[in-house]
Amino acid sequence: MTLRVIGLAEIRSVVTPELVFDAVRQALIAHAEGRTQVPPPMVLDFPASSGDCHVKAGYVEGTQHFTVKVASTFASVNNGLMLVVDATTGEPAAVLADEGRLTAWRTAAAGALITHAMTPADVDEVLILGTGDQAHLQATWLTQLRPHLKFQIWGRRPEAVADLVATLKAEGIEARPAPQLSAEGAGGISGAGPYPTSTGAEGAGTADRSCTTLGAEGAGATGATGATGATGATGATGATGATGATGATGATGATGATGATGATGATGATGAAHTLIGSSFSSPPSAAGAGRGASCVIATTAATSPLPLELFRDAVHVTGVGTDMPGKGELPTEIFDGATVVTDDHTQCLDHGDFGNAVRAGVISADVDLSVGAVLRDGFTQTAKRSIADLTGLGVQDAATASAVIAALGR
């Protein structure tokens, strides 16, 4: 048997945001409807080598392929590949040596899709928390769906914030550093020790600009800070294929809102799409400026203790992509009080997402979440004071994206 190995350059030649948006959207909807197989991830830890490795698999019922993904981070150097297998014969179809970029792009697509679907149409500015690769991608991919958005960038190091702002401006995206927090607001973060500045969320960036690939499940290696270089991503023990369906029934009552849910059709200029995919940008860790007052907040950090509550004070929608393994938690549990909550997978988010942290804190009950896929399918109408999307990342997103790449390559 001769197995085709497809490198990153060839992958980039066919991948567009439209392709990834469509694959991820359909995968999340299938997951909400119980039409997927998503076994629990495997995690290997190599502390002596400052490394870890994550293995995820997924399959959408009725599709041609299933995928097994290996993603690793060793001493801040990231790598990964996806093995695509024919679901009718069991024969390996190809290896996608994507260096972690497909994970980063599908994470960005999921965040952009649900943020677009749940954020009121009149919101024109978004506050992004973090300055890693996924912070950059959340801004650029969301702009594909809402071209005229402006962004505030918050992080712990002013130079990192300035760097990301400059990068976004150079790409034609309006961005500015977020305002400073008050002393009281800045003091609201708990926990001690180095802050894990890059996002660990299934597609996060590295702290070192010289390293442009992603870590295990896209986890951000923090370079200079040293705190979480190899912590990587998901230890999602309980995730099963159909679990995301638990909230699906509640979503249909909230229909009628957004024609925006069919986000793939709104992805805008093709030229810009290829610029997005082709970029090797990997931005630095987060910075010391801080912001407040945004109606939409996207959190992309690998924080192990909640970010300052003041950052979320005026948020009517929050998307969190950084809490992807036990021990992490970037969203203050208080913001879940009275909120409408959607999860990409009920069991996985309850196990190690911010949703689970809020449940364990007694802020909300474990049966209140809707499914992200159901919202993307049916639409969303805001009835609570705030909506929150908790994304921990699913192997079925990898499977759908990888299968779409194989199809686009004509194999």
List, as one string, the DSSP characters of 198-218. Answer: S--SSSPPPSSTT--S--GGG
Question: pTM for this one?
Answer: 0.77
- 125's CB contacts (< 8 A; 6+ apart) are 149, 150, 151, 152, 294, 295, 296
Q: Quote the DSSP letter at residue 334.
A: G
| pLDDT number for residue 246 | 38
What burial class does residue 254 get, using C-beta atoms within 10 Å of its C-beta: 0-12 exposed, 13-18 middle, 19+ buried?
Answer: buried
Give dist(CA 3, CA 55) in Å, integer: 20
CB 99 within 8 A of CB 79: yes
Going by C-alpha positions, the residue among 351, 343, 40, 41 that lies closest to residue 218 is: 41
Any idea which residue has 């150079």 for tokens?
Answer: 170
Which pLDDT score is estimated for 162?
A: 97
Residue 53 or residue 22, greater confidence? 22
Contact 263, 116 (CB under 8 A): yes
CA geometry: angle 30, 34, 35, nearest 5 deg: 55
- The DSSP-derived string for 229-291 is TTT-S----S--TTGGGGGHHHHGGGTTS-GGGSGGGG---HHHHHHHHH---------S---
Mean pLDDT of 16-26: 98
pLDDT of 192 over the 50 cut: no
- Going by DSSP bridges, is the β-strand pair 125-129/296-299 parallel, antiparallel, or unpaired? parallel
Q: How far apart are the first and last CA of the chain?
A: 16
Residue with tokens 């009552």: 253
Measured from the Cβ of residue 62, the count of other Cβ atoms closer than 10 Å reads 8
pLDDT given at position 187: 46
> What pLDDT, on the 0 to 100 scale, is given for residue 292?
53
Higher pLDDT, 234 or 405: 405
How many Å apart are CA 44 and CA 63, to the nearest integer? Answer: 29
The CA distance from 177 to 166, in Å, is 10
Residue 245 in contact with residue 259, Cβ under 8 Å?
A: no
**pLDDT band per the 50, 70, 90 thresholds, residue 185:** low
Residue 182: its pLDDT value, please?
A: 63
In angstroms, what CA-CA distances link 192 with 189, 303, 366? 9, 11, 29
Distance CA 134, CA 348 (A): 20
Q: What is the pLDDT of residue 2?
A: 86
- Residue 129: pLDDT over 50: yes
Q: In whole angstroms, how far apart are CA 246 and each of 61, 64, 239, 396?
A: 18, 26, 12, 17
Contacts of 89 (CB under 8 A, 6+ apart): none
Q: For residues 401 and 59, is the Cβ–Cβ distance under 8 A?
A: no
* Range with the poorest average pLDDT among 82-86, 223-227, 274-278, 360-364: 223-227
- Identity of the amino acid at 270: T
Instruction: Extract the tokens encoding 311.
Output: 């950052």
CA distance 116 to 110: 10
Kind of pairing between the strands at 92-97 and 5-7: parallel
pLDDT tier at 260, thresholds 50, 70, 90: very low
Residue 372 has pLDDT above 50, yes or no: yes
At 183, the pLDDT band (50, 70, 90 cuts) reads: low
Those residues whose C-beta lies under 8 Å from the C-beta of residue 171, and which sit 6 or more positions away, are: 140, 275
Distance CA 328, CA 302 (A): 7
Task: Summarize the confidence of residues 248-274 as an average pLDDT.
Answer: 37
Looking at residues 35-59, what average pLDDT do you find? 87
